[in-house]
Structure 1
Amino acid sequence: MIYILAALLPPLGLLVNGQPISALINLVMIVPCILLGLIFPLLFLLPSAHAVIAVHMKRTDRRQREVLEAIQRSGVPPADWRP
């Protein structure tokens, strides 16, 4: 669900994911992309791509942190962990 929000409303998706600085950068990035997007339509996708990638990286970091904490607590990886 967060990926859909990040693709359709990039700054809001980043804010909901807990990345206010990335949301601000994305908001600043939207203005030139809209202006230059009239010439190069592919630039309309740049803020959405930035948001989706940032959300994915943050979620991956969280998952890795959870696995590391579980290993440190018990000495073995969690049961649902897959490399």
Structure 2
Amino acid sequence: MIYILAVFLPPLGLLLNGQPFAALFNLVLLAVSVVLTVLTIFTLPVLMLLPSAHAVISIYMTRENRRHREIVEAIERHGPPPPGWRP
């Protein structure tokens, strides 16, 4: 659900994911993309995809970092897995 929001409303998706500075940067990126798209008389509409791509990639990376941190904390708390164990 957060990824759908990130595609259609990138700054809001980042803000709801707990990334206020990335949301602010994305808002500036969105404004620049809109201005450049309008100034080039809509010959570069691909610029409008940049804020959405930034939001999706940023949300994915943040979630992966959180997941990695949880695994590391679990290993530190409970010790390493037994020998020969595979996930």
TM-score, normalised to structure 2, is 0.84
The one-letter amino acid paired with 2:44 is: F
**In the TM superposition, what are the counterparts of 1:36-75 in structure 2 within 5 Å?**
36-37=36-37, 38-75=42-79
1:39 Cα shift?
2.8
SS at match of 1:18: coil
CA distance in 2, matches of 1:30, 1:9: 10
Moved segments of 4+, more than 2 Å: none
Report Cα offsets for 1:18-44 as digits up to 9, x if no partner: 000000000011111012222311101
The one-letter amino acid paired with 2:79 is: G
Deviates more, 1:39-48 or 1:13-22: 39-48
Stretches of structure 1 that go unaligned for 5 or more consecutive residues are: none
State, as a whole percentage, how many aligned pairs show the same letter.
Answer: 58
SS at match of 2:43: coil
TM-score, normalised to structure 1, is 0.88
Deviates more, 1:59-68 or 1:29-38: 29-38
Structure showing greater radius of gyration is: 2
SS at match of 1:58: helix
Q: Name the counterpart of 1:14.
A: 14
Stretches of structure 2 that go unaligned for 5 or more consecutive residues are: none
Aligned length: 79
The one-letter amino acid paired with 1:40 is: L
